Amino acid sequence: MSAQHEQAARFFDEVSGTYKDKYKDRSPFHRYFFNERLLKATRGLDLADADVLDIGSGTGELYEHLVARFPRMRFHATDVSAGMLAQSPVPADRKYVGHAYEHPFPVRRFDAVFMLGVTTYLTPEELDRNLSFIASSLRPGGHVVITFTNAHALDSWTRNLLRWPMRLFAGRGNVLSSRLKLWMYGHSAVLRIMGRHFRVERVEGLNHTIFPFNLLFPGPSLRIAQHLSRPADAPAWVRWLSSDLLVRAGARA
């Protein structure tokens, strides 16, 4: 187990007890960000009788989002944090602690694989290992949906500038003030990385806000973000205001 793996697992174990609150009214920004991600990640997918794998499933919000629409879906969840999975409503026999590529799943091929909010914490080597596993595990016609923190976003630049001050004044249960190493990727890097394994279908921006204004002025920030939250054919300049990039791709022929 790598030091990065251990550190990420320990951090998310520590915050697991209150993580679901991010999807609720207590934090308007986090509620918007996480729910926008769920909506865009699942838009247009028919998973009525599908085998679905969620890598980095956390406290199970993707499962809750999908199971009401697709009750016959067979959902499988993995996460390096046992604490996060303990808070998840995914059935116990479908939850696995650790890396997806190490588990003997009851199925060998999946119709859809999701990895949302995970790549930021993976070393490039670990990311490629996961992508190779996903590519070999997709059924023909299957889809993979992955998000990346956008290295070229204004939000990423301000967060990098404020990371050291945040370590002095913010609590431990905050990614920005933690000692976790983070990885970010620009649009062309995302296309290159995903193109090695998949046929990229679309890339679209998520969360068109800028830290710390999204927390200081949530009302105006979220109204602007909702206006800019456009389909995948949005102008290229909108990517500078997108903290994350969501990629939907398919198996290569």
Residue 163 confidence (pLDDT) above 60: no
Whether 208 contacts 242, CB under 8 Å = yes
pLDDT digits (tens, 9 = 90+) for 123-138: 999 999 999 999 999 9
Residue 153: per-residue pLDDT: 75
Return the domain boundaries, the chain: 3-251
Output 35 or 199, whichever has higher pLDDT.
Answer: 199
Nearest 10 degrees: CA dihedral of 41, 42, 44, 46?
140
Output 104 or 30, whichever has higher pLDDT.
Answer: 104
Residue 227: per-residue pLDDT: 59
Residue 79 confidence (pLDDT) above 90: yes
Q: What is this structure's pTM?
A: 0.83
Output 143 or 5, whichever has higher pLDDT.
Answer: 143
Which one-letter amino acid corresponds to residue 84?
M
What is the Cα–Cα distance from 236 to 253, expressed in whole angstroms? 29
Q: Mean pLDDT in the chain? A: 81
User: Residues near 241 by Cβ (< 8 Å), separated by ≥ 6?
Assistant: 153, 154, 155, 205, 208, 209, 210, 228
What is the Cα–Cα distance from 200 to 106, expressed in whole angstroms? 28
CA distances from 56 to 6, 39, 60, 106, 173 (A): 14, 17, 9, 18, 18
Choose which CATH entry (3.40.50.150, 3.90.800.10, 3.40.1710.10, 1.10.540.10) describes domain 3-251: 3.40.50.150
For residue 95, the 8-state DSSP code is: E
